[in-house]
Each structure stands twice: as C-alpha cells, then as structure tokens.
Structure 1
Amino acid sequence: MNPLSPSVPTPRTSLLDGFSLEMTGKDVPGLEEAAHLIPPGTRINVTFLGNEDARMRLGAARAVKRLGFRPVPHISARRLGSRADFEDFLGGLRADAAHTDVFAVGGDPARPEGPYPDSLSLIESGLLSAYGVRHIGMAGYPEGHPAIASDVLWAALRKKCAAVADQGLGADVITQFGFDAGPVLDWIERVRGEGITLPVRVGVPGPAGVRRLMGYATRFGVGTSASIARKYGLSLTNLMGTAGPDRFLHALAEGYDQGRHGEVRIHFYTFGGLRATSEWVAGAGPGARS
C-alpha cells in the first residue's frame, strides 16, 4: 500500500512503462539525489521558466544527459526575444548533445517577447530540424486552456501534427495535469477521432502537498471542485496533507482501452520533488516487489 493513500493499493499498470519526468533548471541537485531511482534512458523534460536563464536551462539539460537520461528541453515561443535567441539556445543544446528531443510550447507571457507567438511558429521556422531536433513534444489540454478557446486548441493541434509530419519528425503529445481521469480519456478518444495517432503522455502530479497541488491547479485552470478533489484523494479541509496519484492512475488504467486510446504513457509533474516522485514510481511500476 502507498502510505500517501492508505485506502488505495499502489497501482501496477503498464501505463507506467517508459514514464517521463519534468524538472526545472534549479532541480539539478534533486535529480542527482534521485538518479539511482530512475531507469536509465528515462525522458526528463527541462522547463523554460521566465525566472531562469539560458545558462541554467542548458546546464540542467547537460546534467540530465550526464546522468544517463534523455533530456527533453522545453522551448517557450513567447519567451524568445529574437531569432538569434532561438538559434543560440538550439546551438547550445547541440553543443552538449542534448538537442535531439525538445518540447515546443507557447509559454505564459500574454504578449510574445519576439517573433514567435506560439509553438507552431517554432516548428514552421524550420530551425528545430536544422539544428538536429528529431522529436518534438507538443501540449494537450483535456480540460481546456484558461486563455485559449477549445476550437483554437484543436485547430492548433491538428496544424502542429501536420507540420511535424511534413518535416519527417517524430512527436508526442503531453497533456496538462488533471485530477479526473474521465475527461482525460474522453479527450484522448477525440484525439484519435481527429486522426491523430501520436503517442499521448498523460500529465500526472507526483506526490506533493495538497496546498501546492491546489495552487498549481488554480494557476493552470485545472478543475478542482469538491467532487473532483475527493475522487483524486485531495482533502480540501486539510491543506497541510499530502496526496499521491494512486486513485487517478487506478481510474486511468481501468478506463484505458488500447483499441480506442492508442499508445498512452505517463508524464509526471514533480511538484513535490524529483525524489518523492521517483520513489513513488519505483514502488508502483509493474516490476516492483510486493
């Protein structure tokens, strides 16, 4: 049993095979501490935050590579001030052999700081493939986006998939995290109905404090009604508590049908730290001991 959710057995599901993780540029010490718990070759995304500079981002990607994992640096379109900034970052990744996989995202600023308004503009620039990128991650929003209409999100996803295919690049879709497996599975089924066959990595928060999870949910427009909170295992009356993804992953595994949903994996947002998430996965994977 997982001590974070004593009423729910730790899920052992093949969806955890090939899971991926996410870290910030400041998380290198945490990655070094957790490295022995993480399978070699694991994909680790490195975020592109406004309070971190290119040197820190490149250093984190370099650390991921050095420790035997697969770096997936984020590139935030609206945070790039110029084409030169974009090329400098790509050149730095290539110099460190951390350039083959990236995650292209629009980013938080309401107004672009340079010539790239969204992730599609990064892909269509041709610079990613020119600098040796071979696989591009793109964002998916099962519960929508607080600032972007649903029809715009779907149109953008279709265009990005077409642009990636035209360039002969590999790709996958990583979803925003959520607390309710139902909308996620429904969204993946619609993705397949749109003719998109790319692998989908479902965003899941690793074990973290309830207050922190609720804060991130508010920031990113994730549903947190009382019923959804109970379903996930969050206690809105005990914000000092901690919650893990056990219930969510049980529901996801129970509802998952490969024929309808295609290839699905898990992407962990490590809000509670890389070690806490890595320890949880080490005890939850299909090969874990009882």
Structure 2
Amino acid sequence: MNPESTVRAAVGTSLLEDFSLEMTGKDVPKLEEARDSIPEGTRINITFLGNENLEMRLEAARAVKRLGFVPVPHISARRLGSRADFEQFLAGLRDDGTSGNVFVVGGDPAQPEGPYSDSLSLIGTGLLQEYGVRHVGISGYPEGHPEIDGGALWSALQDKHTALVTQPLEGCVITQFGFDVDPVLAWVEQVRGRGIALPIRIGVPGPAGVRRLMSYAARFGVGTSASVVKKYGFSLSNLMGTAGPDRFLRDLATAYDPARHGDLKIHFYTFGGLKATSDWAARFRKDSLA
C-alpha cells in the first residue's frame, strides 16, 4: 500500500471509527434530523449551558438514548448551586437510564455558583458512581487555556487521572478543538510521558462557517495565526465562507503513531450543525476507504 493509501485508510478506519459528537440541550430536533447519518451507538456529548434548565438537559439525554446513541451529559462544576442540585441531576439521569457516561468540566463562570470549583471536586465527592456513572470524560487543552496557567492545567489533568484510577472509574480525555496537528500531537506525547494512558478524543471542529469558527477559537485561545488558517484551508478575508476538517484529519492520520500516541479517536464540535457534521463524516470516511 502506498503512503497516500495508508493515510486514507488510517483516516477512514482507526481515527473515524467510533467518533463522538457534541450537541446542546436545544439541539434535539437537529439530532432527530441527523439520526440516519449517525452510526448507531455513537457517543453524543450534551453540553451544560447556563441558559438551559434541568428538564431540558434530562430530555436531551433521553432523546439521545431513544434514538439509539450513547448520551454523555456534561456536568459543569461551577454552575451547580449546591450538592442537592448535583444529586438531583444525577438522580434524574439514573432514573432515565442515562447516567452511565458523563463529562465533567469546571465551566465558564469565573466564580462558582455553589460548592464545586472544578471538575476534580465533582469526581472527589464519590457521588458519580453512587448514581450509576461508570465512565467519566475530562478536558484536555493542547494549546493551553486563556485563563488557566499551563502548570495548573497539567496538575489538574494528572490529579483527575489519579482520582479516576483510584475510584475506580473508566475515563477518557476530550481535547479542545484546534486547527494545527503539531501542537496537538506534541501535547499527546507529553500526556503519555506523564503516565496517563486514558484514551484521548481529539477535538475537531465540524464543517462550519468561518466566522463562527474564528469566534470560538478566539474565545478558547486556540491558535489562529495566518499560517495555521491557511493550512486549515480557509481565508480570513472570506469570513462568509465555510471550512471542513479534511486537512486536519489527513495531517493527523499522517503523523499518528499508535506506539507513541496511544488510543486516539475524534470528537466533533458541531456548533449546532449535527447533520452537516455527520453527513460530512460519512462522506469523508467513504472517500477515504475508496
């Protein structure tokens, strides 16, 4: 098999096998529209936004399960007003049979709305497994975080890994999205060098408008230099255009070495475009295997 065919096969099988998607509580109609193009059993993360209420979050998890996918509800530590709020959410998920998989994150508020300041504090309560959680996703930031020191990010990742192993709970790391493969894989190697063997889902932006991509990138401190933007395949001068992750995934497949990087999968940030992303992934995987 020639090198180009090897890359296509890697993209089509290993990296795009068992990819995951992200949606909000308001995206249930969009999920129903996209259902036929999403593989059965796909993990679908459900964000925990400040403008959504408990019932909306629970209904989204129920819808994901009803449509044949695996719900992964997010739990935002700093948005929980009390331990009772935390338990109420977990109890609702348990009662609906949707508590098996969750993703814990600190969340956007600068000041906690209750007793939990970060995702480690949620893991440390012991409540997750008490309410039926078996698998916990945690965050990774290959290009850092605009408001958190790099050393603190590494300490937090290691502490969360230790907490999951100690509980014990299964887990994975889901990274923030990026446009440049090089810092992502360099970060993955550092993760492995620190003894963290959890599967890593590399965050990738699904096909979306350039303006929206740039807005999210600026918010999360993702590198968007002119060279990176050109490499990704869109123009800053054409903010009305759209871009897909084709180049990123091909570059990732070229550089991916399981011996060095371990278990990698793809996590798509859909920006509300569930059908566009799932249709794109199906076409791209088919073309890669052709």
Q: Distance in 1 between matches of 2:117 and 2:185?
A: 29
1:284 aligns with 2:284: yes
Residue aligned with 2:21, SS: strand
TM-score, reference length from structure 1: 0.95
Aligned twin of 1:150: 150
Residue aligned with 2:44, SS: strand
Please report how far the alpha carbon of residue 168 of structure 1 lies from its aligned counterpart in structure 2 after TM superposition: 1.4
Q: Distance in 1 between matches of 2:131 and 2:239?
A: 46
Backbone CA RMSD of aligned residues: 1.4
Q: Distance in 1 between matches of 2:222 and 2:39?
A: 30
CA deviation vs aligned residue, 1:84-132 (integer Å, no higher than 9, x gap): 0000000010111000000000000000000000000000011101101
Q: Distance in 1 between matches of 2:157 and 2:272?
A: 30
Structure 2: 5+ residue runs without aligned partners?
1-7
Aligned twin of 1:204: 204
Q: Distance in 1 between matches of 2:251 and 2:262?
A: 17
Aligned twin of 2:3: none
Q: Kindly report which structure 2 residues correspond to 1:92-111, keeping only aligned pairs within 5 A, or say none.
A: 92-111=92-111
Aligned twin of 2:114: 114
Whether contact under 8 Å (1:203, 1:266) holds in the other structure is yes
Q: Distance in 2 between matches of 1:35 and 1:91?
A: 27
Aligned twin of 1:274: 274
Q: Distance in 1 between matches of 2:54 and 2:245?
A: 32
Please report how far the alpha carbon of residue 272 of structure 1 lies from its aligned counterpart in structure 2 after TM superposition: 5.1
Residue aligned with 1:146, SS: coil
Aligned twin of 2:44: 44
Structure 2 counterpart of 1:218, one-letter code: A
CA deviation vs aligned residue, 1:177-221 (integer Å, no higher than 9, x gap): 000010000000000000000000000000000001001111111
Q: Distance in 2 between matches of 1:191 and 1:234?
A: 30
- The total of aligned residue pairs comes to 282
CA deviation vs aligned residue, 1:33-85 (integer Å, no higher than 9, x gap): 00011111000000001111111111101000000000000000000000000
State, as a whole percentage, how many aligned pairs show the same letter: 69
Please report how far the alpha carbon of residue 234 of structure 1 lies from its aligned counterpart in structure 2 after TM superposition: 2.0
Please report how far the alpha carbon of residue 14 of structure 1 lies from its aligned counterpart in structure 2 after TM superposition: 1.9
Q: Distance in 2 between matches of 1:19 and 1:44?
A: 9
Structure 2 counterpart of 1:245, one-letter code: P
CA deviation vs aligned residue, 1:11-47 (integer Å, no higher than 9, x gap): 5352010000000001000000000111110000000
Structure 1 counterpart of 2:12, one-letter code: R
Aligned twin of 1:182: 182
Structure 1: 5+ residue runs without aligned partners?
1-8
Aligned twin of 2:167: 167
